[in-house]
Amino acid sequence: MTLRDKVVIVTGATSGIGLATARLMSAKGAKVVCVARHASQEFYSVCADVTDRAQVFAAVEKIIGEFGKIDVLVNNAGFGISGSVEDTAEEDARRIFDVNFYGMLNFIQAVVPHMRSGGGGKIINMSSVAGELSIPFQAFYSATKSAIISLSEALRNEVAPFNIKVCCVLPGDVRTGFTSARKKNAYDNPAYGDRITKSVAAMERDERGGMSPEVIAKVVVRCASVKNPPVAVSGGAKYALFMFLARLLPRRFVNFILGRMYD
């Protein structure tokens, strides 16, 4: 499927993977709509907080009024928190689910009726390798990304009769502003010693040395372009290998290795 003249919503398209995706979609001839809290200087923008259901539905109606249809939705907006499960503030845990999971859900529920009446479309949800391989001291981020995978798999079957295709993209480590924007616990129990500091430092080192967001943008555009995208696809060749091996090896062994990597 060519993307020329397709109407594509990208949430969180003002930086990182979202911006790279919006640029590549535009280069392919798509009509890109950036939805974020702040307007984009490059693309047609509708300002909305993804956690505000009323704002999301109003944004989608405005887009329909402007373009008459929505062909592709890329649910990209999200952020990370780190620290021990024991000491993570309840409001922080709820906030990350509000943005990463419920923000995505708000857009899905607003867009699906329009895709159905329009004869179909594609929904691409940004998950993470961390959704399959849960990382210590980043438990809530991993939990939101795991929830995205589960919802996407169920949704794919629910909307299949309407010619709506659903796909999950699972990036590995990517060089973006996401790293510096990660929120860290204000307090972690001294019982953990320096394990949290070392674990988060290892994560951030991997991210800063990771692939460019353009690599993931290419994966997203490929999923939007093919007739029947995969249920889930990893971003980056080495992460695809990690995922393959993780499915072959005993779960307890995989969990042990992850603990050693980030301890």
Q: Mind telling me the catalytic residues?
A: 141
**209 vs 263: CA distance, rounded Å:** 19
| Whether 258 contacts 131, CB under 8 Å | no
Which tokens in the block code for residue 164?
């709506």
Residues in the chain: 263
**β-sheet bridge partners, residue 34:** 10, 45
113: alpha, beta or left? (left if phi > 0; alpha if psi -120 to 50):
alpha
217: alpha, beta or left? (left if phi > 0; alpha if psi -120 to 50):
alpha
139: alpha, beta or left? (left if phi > 0; alpha if psi -120 to 50):
alpha
Query: CB neighbours of 117 closer than 8 A, spacing ≥ 6?
Result: none
**212 vs 90: CA distance, rounded Å:** 33
| Whether 73 contacts 122, CB under 8 Å | yes
Residue 211: count of CB within 10 angstroms of its CB: 18
**213 vs 210: CA distance, rounded Å:** 9
Q: Cα-atom radius of gyration of the chain, to the nearest Å?
A: 18
Residue 202: count of CB within 10 angstroms of its CB: 15
**120 vs 33: CA distance, rounded Å:** 18
